[in-house]
Amino acid sequence: MSTLAESRRPWLLLSPALGTLSFLLVAPLGFIVVYSFWLRTATGADMGGFHLDNWVEFFTDAFYHDILFYTVRVALITTILCAVVGYIPAYFIANTRMKNKALLLLLLMLPFWISYIIRTLSWINILGTGGAVNYVLMQLGIVNEPLQLLYNEPSVILGLMHYLLPFMILNVYVSLSGIDGNLVAAARTLGATPFGAFLKVTLPLSMPGLAAGSLLCFVLGAGTYITPLILGGPTNAMFANLIFEAIIIQLNWPLGAALSIVLLVVLGTVVTVYGRLMGLNQISKSFG
């Protein structure tokens, strides 16, 4: 067997994957960069060439900036809440003496398998005017009229948390369970309080998982349009909703392309900065 054939083999094996990625990802992304400089004319046809109109519209219209900031805000709040709320069960599973750790973890991962759209709309059953919360409140006589709990920012954040929490828990758990228990014991022997030992030993050592979970929550949260569409009101539109609107409703594809690039650049910057600081392999770690 020649060494040339041997050295070609990995590329041969990779060619279907790289072909898929080039044709379905790289080329389309390159194309929408070019396409964002085209124009959609009143007749609905594309005008090729180099027009800055879409970009001028994005950079000068405060409407887009406001929604971009709002998107970052919602994703940030969601990420912080997921970090705080997700850390606790991850810590519990990592430290419990119960035998069925894997089962406990599996249970929390189960919603991850359940359809995102079902999980999102399930909150209508909880928070809607005919939902569980209002039903209980009215039965108890606390309120006479059902409260409007849906279609606002908290309900969007709640829906996003429900969607993203498993990502956080899994990543934090992977980090926590890799910590040598002797380190905490050592800190305690040296006089640290339990909370002190947690702050000085456990928390810093779990940072990689916390960071990876946060990255996933932020990026996935900031890129969603389904949750705001189902659980949000008219003022809760996020940036991806603008893209959906431009492409599907207004059929202004060049503008939709430009807005997509904005979202890609903003979230891509977050991922790149994170990758420089932490490396991206922590994320792959939670898969095995």
Query: Which residues are CB-neighbours of 206 under 8 A, at least 6 positions away?
Result: 87, 172, 175, 176, 179
Q: Which stretch binds other proteins (CB under 8 A): 56-64, 73-81, 107-115?
A: 107-115
Is 269 a binder of other proteins (CB under 8 A)?
no
Can you tell me the distance from the alpha carbon of 164 to that of 246, in angstroms, rounded to the nearest whole number?
26
Is 92 a binder of other proteins (CB under 8 A)?
yes
CB of 175 to other proteins, least distance (A): 8
Asked if 155 and 72 count as a contact pair (C-beta separation under 8 A), the reply is no
Pick the closest to residue 167 from 281, 287, 258, 265 (CA basis): 287
Work out which of 95, 152, 192, 245 binds other proteins, going by CB under 8 A: 95
CB of 20 to other proteins, least distance (A): 6
Can you tell me the distance from the alpha carbon of 240 to that of 106, in angstroms, rounded to the nearest whole number?
31
Work out which of 51, 73, 200, 285 binds other proteins, going by CB under 8 A: 285
Residues 118-147 that bind other proteins (CB under 8 A): 118-119, 121-126, 128-132, 134-135
CB of 233 to other proteins, least distance (A): 15
CB of 226 to other proteins, least distance (A): 6
Binding mask 23-62 for other proteins (x = CB under 8 A): -xx-xxx-xx--x---------------------------
CB of 52 to other proteins, least distance (A): 19
Residues 240-259 that bind other proteins (CB under 8 A): 240, 243-244, 247-248, 253, 256-257
Minimum CB distance to other proteins smaller for 42 or for 139: 139
Can you tell me the distance from the alpha carbon of 34 to that of 63, in angstroms, rounded to the nearest whole number?
24
Work out which of 108, 203, 205, 207 binds other proteins, going by CB under 8 A: 108
Backbone φ, ψ for residue 233 (5° rounding): -95, -175
Strands (E), 43-177: 46-47
The position carrying tokens 């904005």 is 262
Q: Exposure pattern of 149-181 as b/e (b: 16+ CB <10 Å)?
A: bbbbbebbbbbbbbbbbbbbbbbbbbbbbebee
